[in-house]
Amino acid sequence: MKFSTEELIEGIRSGNKRLTAKAITLVESKKAEHRAQAEELLKEIMPFTGNSIRVGITGVPGAGKSTFIENFGRLVIANGKKVAVLAIDPSSSINKGSILGDKTRMEELAKEENAFIRPSPSSGFLGGVANTTFETMMICEAAGYDYILIETVGVGQSEVLVADITDVFLFLKIIGGGDELQGIKRGIMEMVDVIFINKVEKDNLQKAKNTRQELKRALDFIPPKEKGWKIPVLLGSALYNEGLDEVYTKIDEFIDLKKKSDRFKEVRTQQAEKRFEYWVQEYILAMMKRSSSVEEAYVQHKKNASAMVSNPSTEAKLFVENFLSKD
């Protein structure tokens, strides 16, 4: 990296978008020397983080996420705030074009002085689902962005990852052709805090209301994550800027509720702990994989376990004893 850590930090803190982007590229890099500088940078900016509202956004392809983010982002800016847009996309090799990488999207938002848009990161530097979206968010917070919108295309475990690093989780729904099940992935309803039924216009308003009714019924069986919060099901059209105010207000109300009950801080602390545990596992796994004999042993023991040749716990014990005695 041709920029020093000091230059990058100054760039981030002064709102220089180019240097902010450079810092994110550094954090996303898999190279060992970049990792060292990235760790240094992250350590220095930590005191300036934590002051944003972190919003997770999900929905099936076609739900209108990009249009929503474009116009909702502009609404955030109209309210005197700065907005950053990130994406978690574990299958970036396939979907990169369809998410934020698509240059024709969010054109208007991208022009805004107070907006920062970052396309999907490459997959995690340790392989697997490891990714650096959390670290990118830290940089955006240090750069003074008040709202961080994190989009997920909803592949694999990406919603869980997003829910694990955000304060509020928004689900964009489109009106199904009678089959309301369509497009709701297992587990989503357990994560959501606010639902927005998008693409509602005059000619499908009644259908939208029915969908809302069905969703509300379903929600009766799913306790909300936060006590005292009734998950709102809002109708609107992101394209025509209808209903976005309501989303903004509901997010505000939700954050207020969490702050009043101290759950805001509590959840963030839990998230950081979880993230620490996650990374401990990732680093242990990465270290194990450096030795091919250890990795082979892992694969073999796991195979024995899954074929039920012997008890999974016995295989795990044999492996760990073997692995730890070697180091």
Q: Interface residues with a copy of itself (CB under 8 A)?
A: 39, 42-43, 46, 49-50, 134-135, 138, 180-181, 184-187, 189-190, 214-215, 217-218, 220-223, 225, 268-270, 272-273, 275-284, 287, 298, 301-302, 305-317, 319-321, 324, 327
DSSP 212-224: HHHHHHHHTTS--
Contacts of 109 (CB under 8 A, 6+ apart): 69, 70, 71, 73, 74, 83, 85, 115, 117
Instruction: Please return the burial class of 228, using the count of CB atoms within 10 Å of its CB with bins 0-12, 13-18 and 19+.
Output: exposed
Q: Smallest distance, Å, CB 152 to a copy of itself? A: 18
Helix (H, G, I), strand (E, B) or coil at 101: coil
Q: Smallest distance, Å, CB 109 to a copy of itself? A: 28
Q: Smallest distance, Å, CB 315 to a copy of itself? A: 6
Which of residues 180 and 246 has its CB atom nearest to a copy of itself in the complex?
A: 180
Q: 3-state SS of 143-155? A: CCCCEEEEEECCC
Which of residues 80 and 308 has its CB atom nearest to a copy of itself in the complex?
A: 308
Number of H helices, E strands in the chain: 14, 7
Q: Fill in the amino acid letter for 96.
A: K
Which of residues 72 and 125 has its CB atom nearest to a copy of itself in the complex?
A: 125
Distance (Å, whole) CA 327 – CA 294 = 10
Which of residues 72 and 298 has its CB atom nearest to a copy of itself in the complex?
A: 298
Q: Smallest distance, Å, CB 14 to a copy of itself? A: 21
Q: Smallest distance, Å, CB 322 to a copy of itself? A: 11
Which of residues 46 and 94 has its CB atom nearest to a copy of itself in the complex?
A: 46
Which of residues 87 and 215 has its CB atom nearest to a copy of itself in the complex?
A: 215
Positive or negative, the CA dihedral 201, 203, 204, 205 is positive
Q: Smallest distance, Å, CB 275 to a copy of itself? A: 4
